[in-house]
Amino acid sequence: MPTSRELEFIQRIHAKLLAYLNRSNDKMVHPMNRVEDLLSRFDLSIEGSSDLEEIEFFIDEYIDSSVNTSSPRFYNQLFSGFSTMGYLGEAITGLTNNSMYTFEMSPMGTLMERTLIEKMSQLIGYKDGFGTFVPGGSNANLIAMLCARERACPNSRNSGLFSNIPLIGFVSEESHYSFLKAGYQAGIGIDNIRQVPCDGNGHMDIVKLEAMIELSIQNGEKPFFVGATAGTTVRGVFDPFEKIASICKELGMWYHIDGSWGGSALLSKKHRTLLRGSELSDSFTWCAHKMMGIPLMCTSIILKDKTLLKQVNSVPGTDYLFHGDDGEELDLGLHSLQCGRRVDSLKLWLAWKYFGDDGYEDRIDNLFSMAQHAELRINQSKILELLSPVESLNVCFRIQPPTVDEKKWNELTIMVRDRLIMNADTLVNHASINDKSCIRLITVNFDLTLDDIDEFMKNVEEIAQELANELSK
C-alpha cells in the first residue's frame, strides 16, 4: 500500500491530470519535439533512485511533450478524441490490477467481457460466436491465421508444419502489414502470404483472387486462408465480402475479415451495409480503440466456431492456474494466447453502457458526415484533388495547383503537410496511392464539427497557395 506521503503525491498528480484535461480544450496538438532537445534537457538514465519531486518533474515534462490526441486538430491516426468512460476504465483497471485468466481473479471483468463478445458477435452476424480481447489488431489477425492453420492441418499446434504441401494465404495489396507478420509468426512464411491486386479504388480484385488461387492449386499448393479488410488503412475501403465468402466456401478456405478500422460501422444502420456479408466469415477483428473512441488498446478477435479458440490454445502445464472446475467456461484464459491479461473490457463496457447503441450510432454517423463534408470541400477546390472516393472516414487528397509543375505535386503535398504542423498546429498524416503522395485526413474524433473541417481545409488551401507561389517563382 502507498505511504501517506505517496498518497498525497498521487492526489497532486491527479490534480495535474484534471488540469491537463482542461488545458487540452485549447486544441494545441503538437509540441514539436526533437530527439536531441529531449535528450539534452532530461537525464533519462534509471541507475539511481529519485525523490518524489524529481518524479513529479518528469511527469510534468512527459505530459507537456505528449501529442494531444484528443484535439480536433489531430487527424493523424485511426484514433482521436477523449473518452470519459474510457479514461475512468483505464484508471480503475490500473488501480485494481486484476488479470483476465480466471473468473476468480477478475469476476466482473469476465462477465463484462463475455457480454461484450456476445454483443459484437451478434452485430457481426454470428449466431453463437465466441472470442477474446487481445492487445491489438495485429495480434487478432495472427490468432485468426492460427485458427485457419489448425483447421487446414489438424493438430498442427502439436506436430508442427512439416508437410511438403505449403499452405498459402491471400490478402489484398492494401491490407494491413500484420498479415505478413502473421505469416511468419504462424510458420506459414511471408512468401506464402500472397497479396492480391486491387481495383482502381482499392478493393480486392475478385477475378485476380480466383486466378491466384487456381494457379496455387495447379502448383501443388494448399490455399487455406483469405484475409479481407473492412476499412483499409490508407483509403478506408471495404472489400467485397459476399463475393469473397462464395470463393472460400467453395474451396473450404478460412475466411477472415480484418475489421480493425471499419468494424465499428456495424453500429450504424446507415453504414453497416459496408459490411454486408460479414456473417459469412469465420473470424473477425474489431478494434474499439479506433472508431468507438476507447483508449488504446481495446481489441477483440471473434470466431463463428465457439470451440476453436480453446482448442488452439490448449497446452499442458496449466493445472496450477486452471483447476478443472470451470463448468460454465468462465476462465477466459483457456481461450487466450496470453496468460496474464489486463481488463480491457471494463473501459469499453462503461462507454457502451453510457452511450448505448443509439448514442454510438449517432456519433459514428456524425464521423461519416464529417468525412463527406471534407470530400465536398476538396471537390469544390481548384487546387486539391481527391485520390480515392470516400467510403468511410479516410479522406485522401493531394495538392495540385495549376501554377506548379505536375512533377512537383508529390513534394508539394508533403510540404503542405509539414507546414500544417508548424503554422497551424495541426497534425495530419501523408501516404501514397499509386505513387501519388496524398494527405490522409481521418475524421474519427467524436468532438469534430463542420467548423473544424472548414478550418482545416482553409489552412490547407492557404498554405498550399503560399508554397505554390514560392515554387513558381
Other C-beta atoms closer than 10 Å to the C-beta of 193 total 23
CA atoms in the 13 A half-sphere facing the CB of 82: 18
Pairing type for strands 394-399 and 384-386 reads: antiparallel
Q: State which amino acid sits at residue 117.
A: I
Other C-beta atoms closer than 10 Å to the C-beta of 62 total 10
Distances, alpha carbon 190 to alpha carbons 166, 169, 445, in Å = 12, 9, 35
Give me the pLDDT at residue 24, please: 60
Is the distance from CB of 90 to CB of 295 less than 8 angstroms?
A: yes
- What integer is the mean pLDDT of 202-216? 98
Summarize pLDDT for 22-65 with one digit per residue, the tens.
Answer: 876 677 887 778 888 888 888 888 888 889 999 999 999 999 88
Cell of 142: 495472427
Domain residue ranges in the chain: 4-66, 99-342, 353-471
Other C-beta atoms closer than 10 Å to the C-beta of 379 total 12
- What integer is the mean pLDDT of 65-94? 95
Other C-beta atoms closer than 10 Å to the C-beta of 324 total 8
CA atoms in the 13 A half-sphere facing the CB of 93: 23
Q: Which of 53-62, 326-335, 369-378 has the highest mean pLDDT?
A: 369-378
DSSP 406: G
110-114, 214-218, 332-336: least confident range: 332-336
Beta bridge pairs of residue 198: 204
Other C-beta atoms closer than 10 Å to the C-beta of 162 total 7
CA atoms in the 13 A half-sphere facing the CB of 298: 31
Q: Which CATH architecture has domain 99-342?
A: 3-Layer(aba) Sandwich (3.40)
Pairing type for strands 427-433 and 384-386 reads: unpaired
Give me the pLDDT at residue 343, please: 97
Give me the pLDDT at residue 100, please: 95
Give the distance, in angstroms, between the CA of residue 150 and the centroid of all CA atoms in the same chain. 26
CA distance 255 to 216: 17
**HEC string for 270-281:** CCHHHHCCHHHC
pLDDT at residue 336 is higher than 90: yes
- Specify the CATH number of the domain 353-471: 3.90.1150.170
- What integer is the mean pLDDT of 174-201? 96
Tell me the average pLDDT of the chain: 94
Is the distance from CB of 102 to CB of 329 less than 8 angstroms?
A: no
Summarize pLDDT for 263-283 with one digit per residue, the tens.
Answer: 999 999 999 999 999 999 999
CA distance 133 to 117: 8
Give me the pLDDT at residue 473, please: 66
Is the distance from CB of 283 to CB of 256 less than 8 angstroms?
A: yes
Is the distance from CB of 287 to CB of 125 less than 8 angstroms?
A: no
pLDDT at residue 424 is higher than 70: yes
- What integer is the mean pLDDT of 180-192? 96
pTM: 0.95
pLDDT-based confidence at 142, cuts 50/70/90? Answer: very high
Give me the pLDDT at residue 40, please: 86
Give me the pLDDT at residue 28, please: 82
Largest CA distance in the chain: 78
CA distance 424 to 460: 9
